[in-house]
Amino acid sequence: MKYKICFAITSRADFSLAYPVIKEFKKIKLFKTLVITSGYLSGNKYGKKIDLVKKKLKKIDLEIKNYPSKDTRYEITNALANGVLKFSKYFDKFRPDYLFVFADKFEMLAPVMGSIQFKIPICHIEGGDLTEGAIDDNIRHAITKLSHLHFASTKTYKKRLIQLGEEPSRILVSGSPSLDLIKNFKFKTKIDLTKKYKLDFNKKFILCTFHPVTNEIQNTKKYIVNLINCLKKQKTSIIFTSPNADLSSQVIVKEIKNFSKETKNVKYLEKLNYSDYLSLMKNCTFMIGNSSSGIIESATIKAKVINIGTRQKGRLVPQNVISCGYSQKEINRSIFKIQNLKTKFFNPYYKKDSAKKICNFFLSKINKNLANKKFKDIQ
């Protein structure tokens, strides 16, 4: 008998966590891996990242197209509801034995909610984090309470899972499996990037990724305009990447496009694959914005980072990261400081062979009646 292990992937960030784990599970004959994709992966608007998933995995068992048609609260909620129905239909037909879910995006609620009535044990990778500026916090903790095995990136995050009432025996401090990829990653050179994008990456450049702060979306325009006004003073090249497909993301896109049209040394790479993004991180003078990659991956890549605002507030921050507020004064001060920063690149999110640790811990828990869990009170 083979156990059917289902992996739900709803974003590019999910895939970077899932891919090393899926590879590890495929080595074990006891398992049959099933991969379902949904959310923004299939949408052309954000670069159709599903193509990368298909290229890497060769086979996807089901592609659920439930991305919002418009950037509104109703359409986002409607897409989520549609996803719950489609995941539920799949689970009813194929009855997987276990479900792996990842991180904290709203799209990830669809497979979780769709599986509840089928009593499928849920394994959650990257629970216990805090991101106080984002609605993701609420979603992440909700997924924690609906999950049965937990894979935390750090000891601090394990402690938080226990505070949420989860049994310590169900939690492994695994590190972030996305870092397994980076440790063995062959980065593209500046010459490779120059040829592909017709930009001169041999010169110094700043890499900017700025996402909506979903608990403060009324300030989205103000935040991105402040950042752009600070970057206008920089003589070096500036590369912008696309924001996450969160509410008010199009406000950010509009300001970036206007800035890139008006300014010769500014380029907006709207559709950028993950390997090229990592290579840009590796080769940039510094990163600036509010992306989780600036917190979790940057130390392993050895990139210096300015983290702006509250989107990542609450996460453990490595020494290579300078955090600041949204004001132009604070951003300008941080830009000056980062260029002279001498730092160690220790990554608190890294553990060697994270995906293998996850797989071995999971093997030790098979047939342990995972679906019936208890709330653990703190003594």
Contacts of 57-62 spanning 24+ positions with Cβ under 8 A: 57/19, 57/22, 59/35, 60/35, 60/36, 61/34, 61/35, 61/36, 62/35, 62/36, 62/37, 62/90
What does the pLDDT look like over 207-250, one tens digit per residue?
999 999 999 999 999 999 999 999 999 989 999 999 988 899 99
Average pLDDT over residues 180-208: 88
What does the pLDDT look like over 69-89, one tens digit per residue?
888 899 989 999 999 999 999
Q: Are 94 and 4 in contact (CB under 8 A)?
A: yes
| 237, β-bridge pairs | 205
Domain annotation for the chain: domains and CATH numbers: 3-175+351-365 (3.40.50.2000), 190-338 (3.40.50.2000)
Neighbour tally for 127: CB within 10 Å: 27
Specify the pLDDT at position 47: 56
Distances, alpha carbon 244 to alpha carbons 108, 258, 299, in Å: 14, 18, 22
Specify the pLDDT at position 183: 85
| 171, β-bridge pairs | 150
How is 64-98 classified by DSSP, letter by letter? -----SSSSHHHHHHHHHHHHHHHHHHHHHH--SE
What does the pLDDT look like over 280-296, one tens digit per residue?
999 999 999 999 999 99
pLDDT band per the 50, 70, 90 thresholds, residue 53 = confident
What is the Cβ-side half-sphere exposure of residue 338, based on CA atoms within 13 angstroms? 23
What does the pLDDT look like over 1-24, one tens digit per residue?
799 999 999 988 899 999 999 999
Amino acid (one-letter) located at 340: N
Specify the pLDDT at position 134: 93
Q: Are 244 and 324 in contact (CB under 8 A)?
A: no
